[in-house]
Structure 1
Amino acid sequence: MTLALDSHTALNPRSVSGDRLRKLVVERTGDPVLAHEAHVVSQVLPFKVSSYVVDELIDWDRAPDDPIYRLTFPHRDMLEPEHFAVIEQAVVQGDRAGIRKAADAVRGSLNPHPGDQMSMNVPQHDDIDGSGMQHKYAETLLVFPRQGQTCHSYCGYCFRWAQFVDQADLRMAVSGPEAMTRYLDRHPMITDVLLTGGDPLVMRTDLLASYLEPLLEPEREHVDTVRIGTKAVSFWPYRLLAGPEADSVLRLLERLTAAGKHVAVMLHLSHVAELQTDVAKAALARLASTGAVLRAQAPVVRHVNDDPRAWADLWQAQVRHNVVPYYMFVERDTGARPYYGLPLARAYDIYREALQQVSGLGRTARGPVMSASPGKVVIDGVVELDGGRAFALRYLQARNPQMVGRPFFAVYDEQAQWWDELRPYGPRDREFFGGLS
């Protein structure tokens, strides 16, 4: 495929952010109120969208109800009404200092680091700066390369939204691979390294290689699996198609697989529309040709994919393009959850009904899964016990490995949206909730 893109644009697209947001929304929808409200919300939550998303993925005749528009563009309901009013007042007054002060205050109330990420996941060593890494589970190390802490576009539901706002104290990042390699050398139980962000595929390939090639050295042979989290296929597939940067990243993945590493490209795919363009299909084919395993995950969220048919279509398309459905997550308790969040009972119904519409190869996605402070909790069902209805739950992964795989129960709550809203069903279930009664 030949594409007329210069080297910079091939790596990182033209994008819209900041004050250009209002102009774009007015041009495409003719709705100045919608544009104003989006601008107000963007003072708090990050906004960025690539030219590819604007021109190829969004059906502007359906906006604002198009699912990709809902996925990427701010909406007033992403903020609580009182928060929106405070920010709007500062915007109307043109008070930049007031906007910044109000936005910082609102962000602090939005639980910018859910799941005790900063307090419990960051490695603590006197001689290793672990501030850009997370080590929650014994086998897996998450690494946040500084150069990859942005994306080609931002998802409104992103639980790592705090990485992208202008508050340095909220961001996690390592400046280079040295802290990662030193930490791995001290922790031979780590078998999986996940580069995340942000999106590592916004980086030049030589920078990406500086983190990945040290994993091929003999002293790190305990690292069996390399994961790269990305939404480039959805938001800028030309990263994998156009120019020397595309070719070099594919060669890098080939070197890793040829050396015996299991390379998992963790695709964030929220809606089947992301897989329907020819360039997205070509990008998936090129990725698969490297020997990497392609897996896909996303949360189930209102306005985008809160429908069983949407998930069935997505899973079927993934299987068709050699992508393994991996997780259906629950929207985390952070950021724009008032807008995107669903009750756990509804999320489970969507998952179950979607499974009924696909073959066995499409049923590999585990869900709905809450990635909460104690671990990844999957809702296995709603059951009737002697004392009433209950959620049947199980840890897929946990800080305490002894919890993994053991069934337990929580009192059924039709409105509950997150782990900390659930209560143990009976005395034997309390240990799974940290001893809560």
Structure 2
Amino acid sequence: MSAEIICVGTELLLGDILNSNSQYLAQELAKLGIPHYYQTVVGDNTERLLDVIKIACSRSQILIFTGGLGPTPDDLTCETIAHYFGAPLIERADIIEDITKKYTARNRVMTPSNRKQALIPQGADILPNPTGTAPGIIWQPKPGLIILTFPGVPYEMHRMWLQSAVPYLKSQGWGQEIIYSRMLRFWGVAESALAEKVSSYLNLPNPTVAPYASKGEVKLRVAAKATSNIEAQKIIAPVEKQLKEIAGLDYYGADDDTLASVVGELLRTTNQTVSVAESCTGGMLGQMLTEMSGSSDYFWGGVISYDNSAKINLLGVNASDLDKYGAVSAIVAEQMALGVKDRLGTTWGISITGIAGPTGSTETKPVGLVYIGIAGSNGVDVTENKFGVTRGRSLIRHVSACTALDQLRRKLLAQ
């Protein structure tokens, strides 16, 4: 038994609207322990929607539709579902009454086109919409098949799902088990390298372990099926412990942790402070640090020294070194880190200087070359990083800031 998510709307296919509904529903199905193996996006076209319904009925037992429930001619979901199963559409007076009340409350008059939203297949139950005018349906057109429809507006769909769909599915025997997962997070290791290290865990039946990579970060999703979150956590715990031991310092946190939040907590608990001097990242590192509530406890400020004059006047970088070695160099990164640390009086100073591209490179200094300096009580360490031209400007800047945080994290853990 499995569910299938079908999102209807040409605007989704064109990329005009981000399809967040499928992500939300996938997460909600996991909470109920309902497996789902397919998601489909289809435009506002009757024939193609009929094809999708036919395929979905052959492989899934719960079909969840979002979108296509509005009052306009291209809103085809309900009438197409009814047509596929040979059921007539019935106008429900209670839906007309509900829509009329909502329009009256907004000092508006219901238009004739809104009557379309009151048409549902004969035998279907209404899935109430507390906020919008388009109700959904809950229908079992044949034994072993459940159909749920929702409007495409996310906040309407979320409320309808929680208030009506979840209780209904539980009443049908679903939700006896849940799928609970932990997302383990790693930095400084490639996805392929980590996957090789943990390869013996990737075929476990329960919990399952799956690798992911995104924007320089690698993740391992550890998911367990159980009767409760507590039981699932017990299943996950020993595997999580072993994975962390294998990864060592490359593991930095789990679930909602970020490099900035982990570094911030390490600084706070040890009563240490940090300041930043940024060139190519243009304040991104400072932004990451200040996204954390209470970051003023440990982050004292920074300098965006984009032009060489700012490096000289604000950070004390030697002008002759800039002339000789250039702004993107180890010696300049070293002086930037020391300069911001000394001027702001912090425990640590971090510097980033590099070439984010797409212009500004030379044969000896390609796009993606970034120097990161970490100044502490024992001097300065500078690393040369080659993040690669193919990553693009935005990603090079992001990876540079994250790598700087990771380098500080490792130093704090080594104390």
Bin for the TM-score computed over the shorter chain: under 0.3
User: TM-score of the superposition, structure 1-length normalised?
Assistant: 0.23
Greater Rg, structure 1 or structure 2?
2
Structure 1 or 2: more strand by fraction? 2
User: TM-score of the superposition, structure 2-length normalised?
Assistant: 0.24
RCO comparison, higher one (Cα < 8 Å, 6+): 1
